[in-house]
Amino acid sequence: MSLRIDKPILIGLVFIVIILAAGTSYTIATQGTATFISPNYLMQQLHFGAFLGMTAAGMMMVILLGHIDLSVPWTLTTSAMVASAIGGMEGNVAGLLVGLTVGLVNGIGVAVLRVPSMIFTLGVNTVLLGCMVMLTGGHAPQSAATDLMLFLGRDRTFEIPHSVVVWALLSACLVYVLNRTPLGRYMYAIGNQEAAAYLSGVRTRLVIIASFMMCSLCAAIAGLSLAGYSARAFQAMGDQYLLPSIAAVVLGGTNILGGSGRYSGTVVGVILIVLLQSMLSIMQMDEAYRQIIYGAVIILMLLIYSRGRKAAA
Amino acid sequence: MKSLRLFLSQNLGLLLAIAMFAVLYAFYVSQYPNWGMNVVLQNGNETLALILVGMAQTMAVIVGGLDLSVGPLMTLTNCFGSIVMAGTGGSVVLGIIACMALGTACGFMNGCIIVYGRIQPIIATLATGAIFLGLALLLRPSPGGSIDGDFAWAFTNDINELGYTYGWWEDLGFFGKIPLQPIYLILIVLLVWVPFKRSVTGRGAYAIGSNAHAAYMSGVRIDRSKIAAFTLAGFFAGCAGIYLTMQMGSGNADAPQAAEYTLRSIATVVIGGTSLYGGTGGVIGTIFGALVLRSISFIFRVVPESAPLGFVASPLLQPFFEGLILLVAVSLGAARVFRVKNRLSLFS
């Protein structure tokens, strides 16, 4: 296990330090305390950032293949809503099954029917949205979080939020898959050149389906724990996770066209985005400036990455 | 005969979209109790902004990219328009020109970031989309602004109303019942799209989409064509914002609406027969793609609940069916997957 640090990851870390410094100097200047770097506050940020972390982890699995999953927001929402509507242990299992099923459908659409992932997952997203409108139409299903969700999303042990532990476990699994199993090698290979992978005997369809299932499963787990965090499942709870999760993966140095990228980069990307958002909200910045700064930082970082890299015509 | 077959095979997507629209809209007309030009006008009103945003998306797709900032850019122009188009007479015209300039400038900025910054279009426009939305919020922290009512009414109506409102002409008979929206569209297509498609730059854009490497080797000015495509995308998105302003009479920095338009624009492009891999198609197909998409929601409105298939008219089921139809439409293309003899040809 080498501790090689890529350029994007290094730049990401530098940006994290800059954000921490800026946030801290702001709180020292206005409140006289270094609230921003207090362990309590940072743990709070991690607690909330873990949900984005899980979503982004799944997103990375499909981006590595050169695909994208736009159905993540409503996969997350659907699994949480279905799970809470059924309730109890069966509900939790059903929520995870929803995730796996959505992933299977996405994977079949992309790998077997060869519809561009962008448009197929978009359609699946709309269908899921429609299903949830049907579920809640006419009567109000149960929406309270189950015990497991509360345990995963809200509770803490020794001040460590369980959501962070779940994120860490999920990360460990994915790192193992990516670096230590043939499946992981095949994913990178397909992202680089699918035809070459196919000719080398890789069963590319199965690999693509597996990646989409991993992505949706991650979204489902994020949905269950997010519902626990807010104590209930509600419509559109996943909408704010789509674009930041893509941004986190790309800021972490994963090529949006697939084929390269390290998991540690995605973690750095997630932490960067969470800290950036929390710094902007601690400064009580208007939503308008928040959006502008958010967009500008992404562009700035990507410009720094691409500097010095030769154009691959 | 041969040239006809070539024409058919090259424009299959476009023809399919037209056929789909014809069938869907004919069904809608047959269900509508007293259908007439006023219904066409209303339909046009609801569709034009989506068509223009779809056209913007088409430009990015042709060069093999994707523009996630079309919706936010439309919203930004809408908010900007609600301020600069607020006067009367000549100042409104200036305002419209300013809006077009803003859209074009933002598109040009997108193009420059993508080409000179060497950032993938999808991720660059994701970021600029956030910036556009922020600027829109800055201009209109809360929905508001009102543009001249007469102007908004006259220019989103039919030819007769335009004449009445300003006393330019009297009743023109059937000719006067033609809505203005198709006229705008034809003007934009004839004055902007056709010249672009026929220019060297436009052909270059198609070449980049089908094979960037080959285009570069053949001496296509890649940078220029790419920037031009994204600039034009900005112009179309700006036009959508202008129309939205005239239609609503106010500006609203509505983030969910912007996101919805962006996502739907991708669907209109695909239904219109433009491949997401780039290099084919065009805005004409997208126009029909948007019409197909809107016809579906029109139909849901008129199918009576008591009809044999009346259950589909339930508003609760509408989003579900919209998604399902989109999925089925894009999966139809899968027929070719099962016909190919050599699976290698699928990995393009």
Q: What is the predicted ipTM?
A: 0.77
| B105/B298 Cα distance (integer angstroms) | 35
Please enumerate, as own/partner, the contacts of A42-48 that have beta carbons within 8 Å and a separation of 24 or more. Answer: A43/A159, A43/A160, A43/A161, A43/A164, A45/A274, A45/A275, A45/A278, A46/A161, A46/A164, A46/A274, A47/A156, A47/A161, A47/A163, A47/A164, A47/A229, A48/A229, A48/A274
Q: Is residue B345 situated within a structural domain?
A: no
What lies within 8 Å, CB to CB, of B62 at 6+ separation is B205, B206, B209, B229, B274, B278, B279, B280, B281, B282
Give the closest of B118, B133, B316 to A291, CB-based: B133
Residue type, B308: P
Q: For A89-132, write each residue's pLDDT tens digit.
A: 888 888 899 999 999 999 998 888 888 887 788 888 888 888 88
Contact (CB<8Å) A126/B138: no
Chain B residue with minimal CA distance to A131?
A: B320
Question: pLDDT by residue for chain B (348 residues), tens digit each?
Answer: 667 787 777 777 788 888 888 888 888 888 777 777 778 888 888 889 999 999 999 999 999 888 889 999 999 999 998 888 887 777 888 888 999 999 999 999 999 999 988 888 888 898 899 899 999 998 888 888 777 777 777 777 777 777 777 777 777 777 777 888 888 899 999 998 899 989 999 999 999 988 888 888 888 888 999 999 999 999 999 999 999 988 888 888 888 888 888 888 888 888 888 887 878 888 888 999 899 888 888 887 777 666 666 666 666 777 787 778 778 777 776 666 676 767 777 775
What lies within 8 Å, CB to CB, of A138 at 6+ separation is B316
Q: Is residue B272 situated within a structural domain?
A: yes
C-alpha separations of B69 from A38, A155, A225, B49, B184 in Å = 37, 39, 31, 15, 23
How far away is chain A from the Cα of B160, in angstroms, using its nearest Cα? 40
Contact (CB<8Å) B323/A303: no
Domain count within chain B: 1
Q: Is residue B336 situated within a structural domain?
A: no
Q: Is residue B338 situated within a structural domain?
A: no
| CATH number for the domain harbouring residue B81 | 1.10.3470
How far away is chain A from the Cα of B341, in angstroms, using its nearest Cα? 15
Contact (CB<8Å) A133/B334: no
Chain A residues with CB-CB distance to B320 below 8 A: 127, 129-131, 133-134
Contact B204, B223 (CB under 8 A): no
Give the closest of A128, A257, A288 to B137, CB-based: A288
C-alpha separations of B2 from A114, B5, B8 in Å = 30, 5, 10
Domain assignment of residue B280, given as a range: 14-28+37-303+313-330
Contact (CB<8Å) A127/B323: yes
Q: Is residue B207 situated within a structural domain?
A: yes
Q: Is residue B151 situated within a structural domain?
A: yes
Contact (CB<8Å) B263/A70: yes
Chain B residues with CB-CB distance to A246 below 8 A: 123, 126
Chain A residue with minimal CA distance to B324?
A: A127
Contact (CB<8Å) A119/B267: yes
Chain B residues with CB-CB distance to A109 below 8 A: 327, 331
Residue (of A88, A78, A105, A115) closest to A220 by Cα position = A78
What lies within 8 Å, CB to CB, of B33 at 6+ separation is none
How far away is chain A from the Cα of B313, in angstroms, using its nearest Cα? 13
Give the closest of B213, B222, B326 to A123, CB-based: B326
Q: Which domains does chain A show, CATH number per domain?
A: 7-26+37-304 (1.10.3470)
Chain B residues with CB-CB distance to A133 below 8 A: 316, 319-320
Give the closest of B120, B259, B317 to A257, CB-based: B120
Please state whether the predicted TM-score (pTM) of the whole model is above 0.90.
Answer: no
How far away is chain B from the Cα of A144, in angstroms, using its nearest Cα? 23
Question: Residue for token digits 């007769």?
Answer: B160
Chain B residue with minimal CA distance to A246?
A: B123
| A107/B51 Cα distance (integer angstroms) | 30
Chain B residues with CB-CB distance to A250 below 8 A: 123
How far away is chain B from the Cα of A155, in angstroms, using its nearest Cα? 32
Contact (CB<8Å) A120/B263: no
Contact (CB<8Å) A115/B344: no
Q: For A52-88, write each residue's pLDDT tens digit.
A: 999 999 999 999 998 888 889 899 999 988 888 887 7
Q: Is residue B161 situated within a structural domain?
A: yes
Q: Is residue B256 situated within a structural domain?
A: yes
Contact (CB<8Å) B319/A130: yes
Chain A residues with CB-CB distance to B324 below 8 A: 123, 127, 130
